[in-house]
Amino acid sequence: MRKIRCIILLILLGNNASAHNPQVSTISIIQNENNKWSVFITAPLYTCQSTIHENYPNIKIDSINAFETQKLISKLVNESLMFNKDSNVKLINGKIQLAHETTLYFDIQSDKAEFNPSEIIFKAFSKLANHFTLLKIVPNKGQQITYILNNDNKFSYPKIKTQAMTISSIFNFNKYFDIVSRIGVRYILIAGATFIFFYILFKRKIFYKKIQNIFPKNSDYIREFTYSIITVMIFGIVIVTIMGNPNIRPYTKIYENIEEQGWLYYFAAFPIMLIMHDTYFYWTHRIMHHKLLFNTFHLVHHKSTNPSPWAAYAFHPLEAVVENGIFIVFAFSFPLHESHTPIFFLFSVIYNIYGHLGWELYPKGFNKSFIGKWVNTSVCHNQHHKYFKGNYSLYLLFWDRIMGTLREDYDMAYEEVKNR
Ligand SMILES: [Zn+2]
Ligand SMILES: [Zn+2]
């Protein structure tokens, strides 16, 4: 009797287990010794049939032959597996073995030499209930990744949405201190060296050449320096929020290997960045001169009516955010290599410090030369600080000239300084 009871219990449990038994599929993305990637998918036949049924409700599974079933499964999987959000990555050489445990195989074809499956989207089994998928990424070097997808068969890997939204996952403090110290040290070294050379060591000897024949007060230097440090800290927040945030970084167009876009593109990007920044600066600068915005955003920068190198970053925190907006424009508008922005902003800070230097470094006659007519100078920006009106440009005089905002007394002022 006891034996019979046990058998009945086993049968019941067995039935129960099969009714609730979750289906398990495995997606393995494997790199061979020639660095080529392939995909192996194993899925229970029941899973494949259910998927066909869910996606093609008009097709009766029993009425189609094995060959058609294979074709449909292969097509479904192929269409729903996507790598790195790149439609040029294709699954080719598809093979399928229909069995109780069905196996599919594809080679991954990419036009990029160094393809790596960093983002994977798969939706084929998304409508199935009680289904688990196991994702494995097996590179020929480095660490293997195993990723279990409970019930959620429509997935994106890395699974960004379900990541715990802790402050440290959104804002990487280590990266923040790293970036702030780098931008800060770069600024202090360049502005500091310039300040020591022009405002301490040779101040008397070259005073007669100073654009405005008066030195700012010590309190001016302290104010400019303090606001500059706050600006550096704000630049760090903007940069880390974009670059260090795993929810935002994938949407930027920043790439890692120069070969991805080629060397010609690499060098061509710099003048494009220059023109974009020049345009961005001119127009945001003009907007900040509007009477509704000037006091809040831009007055701090204009407290330096006789600027020193420390005025280069002396912005109100709100203006600092506006100034750093160009970084956001760059990150999202066109492919930039990781080294593009550090090199470009190194040039930018040098030019900016030159613009606030207080001495003119370009030669006599430069303002009227073929090239010099279109290049912003220290005299030009110094006039902007002295008079508040006109000369809004940053690197070039293009916008000032075509918008008619270049001061009429610019050439006179330039020549007066260079004739001394
Ligand atoms: Zn201004
Ligand atoms: Zn300025």
Same domain, 144 and 211: no
pLDDT, tens only, 157-169: 665 444 455 666 6
Tell whether 370 and 398 lie within a shared domain. Answer: yes
Q: Confidence class of residue 13 from pLDDT cuts 50, 70 and 90?
A: very low
Mean pLDDT is lowest, of 102-111, 177-186, 288-297, 405-414, for 102-111
Q: Which two tokens stand for residue 64?
A: 């189609």
Ligand that comes closest to the CA of residue 298: 1
Residues 197 and 155 occupy one common structural domain: no
Q: How far is CA 385 from CA 47, 105, 298, 305, 391, in A?
A: 71, 67, 11, 5, 9
Please check whether residue 97 lies inside any domain of the structure.
Answer: yes
Question: Once rounded to an integer, what is the mean pLDDT over residues 11-24?
Answer: 52
Co-location of 201 and 334 in the same domain: yes
234 in the same domain as 118:
no
**β-pairing verdict for 336-337 and 254-255:** parallel
Ligand nearest to the CA of 288: 1
Of 106, 135, 170, the residue that ends a domain is 170
The predicted model scores a pTM of 0.63
Decide if 59 is inside a domain. Answer: yes
Ligand 1 mean position, distance from CA 147 (Å):
53
Helix/strand/coil for 237: helix
Which 3 state secondary structure label does DSSP give 370?
coil
For the chain, what is the largest distance between any 2 Cα atoms, rounded to a whole number of angstroms?
A: 118
Q: How far apart are CA 330 and CA 337, in angstroms?
A: 11
Q: Are 262 and 282 contained in the same domain?
A: yes
Same domain, 70 and 193: no
Last residue of a domain, one of 170, 192, 225: 170
- Whether 212 and 299 have beta carbons less than 8 Å apart is answered as no
- Residue 396 CA to ligand 1 center (angstroms) comes to 15
CA–centroid distance, 205 to ligand 2, in Å, is: 25
151 domain-assigned: yes
Q: Tell me whether residue 343 is in a domain.
A: yes
- Quick check: 355 and 373 in contact, CB under 8 A? no
Q: Report d(CA 413, CA 33) in Å as an integer.
A: 68
Looking at the structure, do residues 299 and 150 belong to the same domain, yes or no? no
DSSP annotation string for 36-66: -EEEEEEEEHHHHHHHHHHH-TTS-GGGS-H
| Whether residue 405 sits in one domain with residue 279 | yes
Number of folded domains that form the chain: 2
Amino acid at 382: N
Q: Which ligand is nearest to the CA of 306?
A: 2
Does residue 407 or residue 65 have the better pLDDT? 407
Domain that holds residue 55: 23-170
Decide which of 143 and 192 is more confident. Answer: 192
Q: How confident is the model at residue 242 (pLDDT cuts 50, 70, 90)?
A: confident
Q: Is residue 240 part of a domain?
A: yes
Distance 214 CA to ligand 1 centre (A): 21
Residue 5, domain member (yes or no): no
Neighbour-count burial of 292, counting CB atoms closer than 10 A to its CB (0-12 exposed, 13-18 middle, 19+ buried): exposed
What is the Å distance from ligand 1's center to 200 Cα?
27
Q: What is the pLDDT of residues 41-83, one digit of tens each?
A: 998 888 888 888 888 888 887 788 888 888 888 888 888 888 8
In-domain check, residue 14? no
CA angle 379, 382, 387 (to 5 degrees): 120
